[in-house]
Amino acid sequence: MDEFELIQRITPRSLFHREIEIGIGDDAAVYHTKNGYQEIVAVDTMVDGIHFLSSHSSPADIGYKALAVNISDIAAMGGSPKYYLVSIAVPSGWHAVDIEAMYEEMNKLATLYQMDLIGGDTVSANGPLVLTVTVIGEIEKGRTCLRSHAEPGDVVFVTGELGSSAAGLAFILGQAEMKDEKQSQYFIERHKRPLPRVEAGLLCSGYHHVALNDISDGLASELNEIAEASRVSIDIYKEMIPVHSDLHTLHTKWEEWVLFGGEDFELVGTISNDQWERFSQECSERHVPVYQIGRVTQQGQADVFYHNGQDRVLLEKKGYNHFK
Amino acid sequence: MDEFELIQRITPRSLFHREIEIGIGDDAAVYHTKNGYQEIVAVDTMVDGIHFLSSHSSPADIGYKALAVNISDIAAMGGSPKYYLVSIAVPSGWHAVDIEAMYEEMNKLATLYQMDLIGGDTVSANGPLVLTVTVIGEIEKGRTCLRSHAEPGDVVFVTGELGSSAAGLAFILGQAEMKDEKQSQYFIERHKRPLPRVEAGLLCSGYHHVALNDISDGLASELNEIAEASRVSIDIYKEMIPVHSDLHTLHTKWEEWVLFGGEDFELVGTISNDQWERFSQECSERHVPVYQIGRVTQQGQADVFYHNGQDRVLLEKKGYNHFK
């Protein structure tokens, strides 16, 4: 594959942001920033065989998800994504048409948020495909939703159903039995094509002292991060956590998927009790789902508890390695 | 290797830039920008076996170069580097101590420029080590040194000797015979530890309409990029190009190294004739080397010519793949 040719094909012909002085085509990208705003930067790397399986995901799926998970990081700060850069190490078995399909799908997703591709690097690899995406966003000063913002008395919320991505992966890996084609496709879609909760994040940034994380490593892990950063304890309740109505029929492990599965890329956060009603009202008006799942309980300790009927168990900060 | 533990070990304990609201430790990094400045972003990926050979370079060498080449991209815009993010896909054969050595060396280099590590990603890989570094810098508005800035009559200059990095690589690969240990070490050092020309780039940004590139792909390729972006032709002269006094004794290919070898990470640029004297004077006062190597000759065509005695030959935009 000729790198110059690929760059010409993927270089956007038009840009959303006029603040860009130079996008692709010089040593680096250059852009103006807005007064009163801060910059937000996130970077994530995905490796074939570790974070996705090219045998089970199309190049378009892979490109989509690599960009989506980084947009999700910007959303988890309450910000607006604006720019992205794509670095890709391509094994010799891949064709230019696959790489183009990957960029094309990233471009489609980026267009939803009016994001511009401003740079990157394309190199050959003597190993699996490695895709690194950098996303740059912005947020008004003083509005960042940090993990350290949780306070006792806060409502704990999530923006959508959990465990569905892990269910989709179980279908892909043949670890769950497909009974209904349409149903399993739904879950697989949730795994391959998570929609970053940008609008929900932006709504959160309009309220005071919201803590926010995106659920990449699983609810337990994300809540523990908020608890540790804020030095608070958190109690969540099984019956309050939104799950797909069929989830429990798919596998005995469904509850583990909900708590530890990760990759749902919903947001989990905390907001003060006296803002909660106005916040949930505004979310409802804008058709942004939001569900209370528990409470921030006390200062000092940094424990997360899961209430299952009469039981109250400590939720540990463990992740979940799907391919092990 | 435990990712959480590694992150704790590499998270900087102090920061140069107070504009950072959040560095490592949330979903994304957040920082303020300065009024009247633009942001500059560059990203580069290096793969073991393609861009470096871990059999011949220490983890410290690899880390150094991955950061240096990105700083060089910021320098080639005339900017100041400020932040960096490191994404790394680590094969199972690597130990935590190697990865730490890599970060430690990046930290040393970053400290020279008062740069802060503000984020990244560490993942396992089932293939070679892949290291992606994102560098963010800034530049005063209107001062960016773009490839498109060359104009007929401009002086063409470089900031240091060329071909030495390619010579170093030839020693590493056993393609050139080591006669003098100290001498070959000098060239190997030029290959493994290029010093990004940040100060030279900053000086350039103080002058009007300077075109600038860093020499990663070879002088011929970089000059062709300037010629194409500016729609001008360029003439350079063999006897004006600075090379190490021993270079011609090392290999019959030495001239190819100079023109096509690349990875010297010197800057090549153009500046108007009437600014040249003041510019070279200022460079000399600040001990920043700068050498005229030719002229921008005419508008319209985008050709680069190399004068070798009586001969004037077209220099094509070819790179040079060292491992092929």
Residues paired with residue A304 on neighbouring β-strands, in sequence order: A234
Give the pLDDT score at A321: 46
Instruction: State the average pLDDT over residues B306-311.
Output: 95
- Indicate if the pLDDT at residue B7 is higher than 80: no
Give the pLDDT score at A324: 38
Give the residue ranges of chain A where pLDDT is below 70. Answer: 1-7, 319-324
Of residues B28, B44, B88, nearest to A73 (C-beta):
B28
Distance from the Cα of residue B105 to its chain's centroid: 17
Binding residues of B for Mg(2+), as ranges, are: 27, 44, 73, 121, 214, 217
Task: Indicate yes or no: CB of B144 within 8 angstroms of CB of A30.
Answer: yes
Residue of B132, B140, B149, B217 for testing the chain A interface, max A β-carbons within 10 Å:
B132
Distance CA A319, CA A129 (A): 24
Q: Which residue has tokens 């420029």?
A: B113
Average pLDDT over chain B reads 93
Give the pLDDT score at B3: 60
Please identify among residues 25-64 of chain B the ones whose CB lies closer than 8 Å to any CB of chain A.
25-33, 35, 37-47, 49-51
Give the pLDDT score at B4: 57
Assess contact for B65 and B193: CB atoms under 8 A: yes
Q: Which domains does chain A have, with CATH numbers?
A: 3-140 (3.30.1330.10), 147-314 (3.90.650.10)
Tokens for A308?
A: 């299952």
Whether chain B has a CB inside 8 Å of the CB on A147: the answer is yes
Q: Is A100 exposed, middle or buried (0-12, 13-18, 19+ CB in 10 A)?
A: middle
Give the pLDDT score at A11: 79
Give the pLDDT score at B324: 38
Task: Indicate yes or no: CB of A38 within 8 angstroms of CB of B50.
Answer: no
Query: End-to-end distance of chain A based on CA atoms, in angstroms?
Result: 34
Query: pLDDT per residue over B90-122, tens digit each?
Result: 998 899 899 999 999 999 999 999 999 999 999
Whether chain A has a CB inside 8 Å of the CB on B145: the answer is no
- Indicate if the pLDDT at residue B24 is higher than 90: no
Question: Confidence band (pLDDT; 50, 70, 90) for B151?
Answer: very high
The closest alpha carbon to B74, from B82, B65, B63, belongs to B82
Of residues A37, A40, A147, nearest to B29 (C-beta):
A40
3-class SS of residue B48: strand
Does the annotation place A25 within a ligand binding site? no
Query: pLDDT per residue over A117-127, tens digit each?
Result: 999 999 999 99
Own/partner pairs for B283-289, CB < 8 Å, 24+ apart?
A: B283/B200, B283/B203, B286/B199, B286/B203, B288/B159, B288/B197, B288/B199, B288/B200, B288/B203, B289/B159, B289/B160, B289/B200, B289/B242
Percent of chain B with pLDDT over 70: 96
ipTM given for this complex:
0.92
Please identify among residues 206-245 of chain A the ones whose CB lies closer than 8 Å to any CB of chain B.
212-214, 229
